Chains A and B, each alone.
Chain A
């Protein structure tokens, strides 16, 4: 049994009395000690998927409309809010995309870490503070004894994200969800923060869900990859399999969009067009308007997700019988 088992997860957004589906049929496993990558352009439902797993959808227009989430053998959706909160921040923790705004501006960073610790562990203020300093040291904040009393605005973006990591790791979670943890950071800092996370993973054995729109980052760090497009999984496989045998035209397009650091233009988007909005009705494959291999049937019937090999899932009518172009692989 995997640490996290997500089955047919569905998230909808309530607009004008209706609930429009935004995330549909998401299934994947995360094993202990492993890193799962979720990749896709912005607006594809990566954040909603992770918020649903974390239990942070409530209180907004967003609804978990179906599916199941099992964590550590527990059915998360059957738990009381109180029992769910006991897991949040303790066994399961999350860091977010926006380090500049993810810390409370009016409290010292040490106190924010201490709050996490004391929420789940019976510790004195003094013990918690000592532990907070250790954690800051662990995430390589220089001079942690002094920094523990800093306010967020006194730190750089990279340092704030390190504080977020320290806070997330405070209780030694089994699963860390990192939703585009480096997207908002400078390129040089991005690598440092990512290396830090992976290094800490090696020491603590925490499983990680790493969300990114950068397939390059995913290829270097993840054991398994899930590619999402417009709320659905379009391809998923072990990283090695995926990169040796990319079968969905969207995944191929993403690979070709790997950022060009040397240029002013940060992204070289190889896929024309944009992700359809949630209220656009598409009877066929959601990707067909942007797909250079689309055939007539792609516009009318939605493709199902099928295994092209063990563990390699593709949602495409023509995963293999395409003229081989770019990184497209041969037959599975």
Chain B
């Protein structure tokens, strides 16, 4: 297991290098001279000349890349044009919101997706199944911004149960109760993904239920609930775990929309604002971090997969 994890981490390096080249080139692929792009519209010719020299933009491209890469490896992702601060610090300021939002969203996906999926599968064909499957179908097809606005209308504006925008840090006054600011955003973000998990749990459980070993389990005289959980669901989980990797990718893009709708000071909104501000170093930094996260999540999914299915050998 450790050897495998280590090898997989090593194997990430070439992929990361390839990704870093793309991210690096990003700023050079935008039409125009990088220095004037980085400095924005208000820059004077002197400033541009100064930055060109400081950043080594007059050097060959591959030299620039290695300089940039060695900075990145040391944690220096450049300086935000808008904030005039290190990119890493700018991103870190949005990290709390985004990480907490991601955790709450994952919690909802698991807490809603798995039990409802199990219910739909075990009550296959009844009204409970139809309600769950129909609801899942609906939520899987509703756009994120639309659901977010509806939740705000009902639970924030109408009922006044939850705040509709912003997120004070949990280290501020209010402490963990500030998490209520993330209630509606996390539900918005979780809904389509939980719907996906419901459908996936249901479909894989119905598949597994037809397998021969389930008949063996029933022939032991086990209670149907035990057969459903210990035998059917446990096997269905293998397929569900694989889907969690994909869910993460979808979550990233949906998070951008959600953070914007709910005005959350997270990384998603930072991306949108940085695009509007043409703050390319920040965009570059966020993309790099998302790529790294995505790879790590996929590694975790593979490890989980191997733990869930003894037939998968890690070597």
Map CB proximity to A onto B187-228 as digits: 1 under 8 Å, 0 otherwise: 000000000000000000000000111011111111100000
Whether a CB of chain B sits under 8 angstroms from the CB of A103 is yes
Asked if B212 contacts A116 (CB within 8 A), the reply is no
Asked if B311 contacts A96 (CB within 8 A), the reply is no
Asked if B223 contacts A104 (CB within 8 A), the reply is no
Query: Closest CB of chain A to B295's CB: distance in Å?
Result: 27
CA of A85 to CA of B219, assembled, Å: 8
Query: Closest CB of chain A to B185's CB: distance in Å?
Result: 36
Interface residues of A in 83-99 (CB under 8 A from B): 85-90, 93-94, 96, 98
Query: Closest CB of chain B to A149's CB: distance in Å?
Result: 11
Asked if A105 contacts B212 (CB within 8 A), the reply is no
A86 touches which of B219, B221, B234, B310 (Cβ 8 Å): B221
Asked if B211 contacts A101 (CB within 8 A), the reply is yes
Contacts of A151 in B (CB 8 A): 310-311
Asked if A96 contacts B220 (CB within 8 A), the reply is no
Query: Closest CB of chain A to B124's CB: distance in Å?
Result: 9
Asked if B215 contacts A87 (CB within 8 A), the reply is no
Given known pairs A85-B222, A104-B235, the reply for A56 and B310 (CB within 8 Å) is no
Whether a CB of chain A sits under 8 angstroms from the CB of B8 is no
Closest residue to A103 on the B side, CB-wise?
B213
Whether a CB of chain A sits under 8 angstroms from the CB of B308 is yes
On chain B, the number of residues with a Cβ less than 8 Å from chain A's Cβ atoms is: 20
CA of A94 to CA of B216, assembled, Å: 8
Asked if A96 contacts B222 (CB within 8 A), the reply is no
Given known pairs A153-B310, A153-B311, the reply for A102 and B212 (CB within 8 Å) is yes
Query: Closest CB of chain A to B19's CB: distance in Å?
Result: 35
Asked if A88 contacts B235 (CB within 8 A), the reply is no
Given known pairs A151-B310, A153-B310, the reply for A164 and B221 (CB within 8 Å) is no
Asked if B222 contacts A106 (CB within 8 A), the reply is no
Whether a CB of chain B sits under 8 angstroms from the CB of A115 is yes
Whether a CB of chain B sits under 8 angstroms from the CB of A140 is no
Contacts of B217 in A (CB 8 A): 104
A89 touches which of B219, B238, B311 (Cβ 8 Å): B219
Asked if A105 contacts B219 (CB within 8 A), the reply is no
CA of A116 to CA of B234, assembled, Å: 18
A104 touches which of B213, B219, B221, B308 (Cβ 8 Å): B213
Query: Closest CB of chain B to A289's CB: distance in Å?
Result: 33
CA of A103 to CA of B231, assembled, Å: 10
Map CB proximity to A onto B228-245 as digits: 1 under 8 Å, 0 otherwise: 000100110010000000
Whether a CB of chain B sits under 8 angstroms from the CB of A64 is no
CA of A98 to CA of B215, assembled, Å: 11
Given known pairs A96-B212, A96-B216, the reply for A120 and B231 (CB within 8 Å) is no
Q: Which of B215, B219, B308, B310 has the most CB of A within 10 A?
A: B219
Contacts of B234 in A (CB 8 A): 104, 106
Whether a CB of chain B sits under 8 angstroms from the CB of A39 is no
Asked if A105 contacts B216 (CB within 8 A), the reply is no
CB-CB nearest 7 A-B residue pairs: A88-B221, A89-B220, A89-B221, A101-B212, A85-B221, A104-B213, A151-B310
Tell me the A residues contacting B by CB distance below 8 Å. Answer: 54, 56, 85-90, 93-94, 96, 98, 101-106, 115-116, 119-120, 151, 153, 164, 167
**Sample of 12 more A-B contacts, CB < 8 Å, known A88-B220, A104-B231, A153-B311:** A54-B219, A56-B219, A85-B221, A86-B221, A88-B221, A90-B221, A104-B216, A104-B235, A106-B310, A119-B221, A151-B310, A167-B216
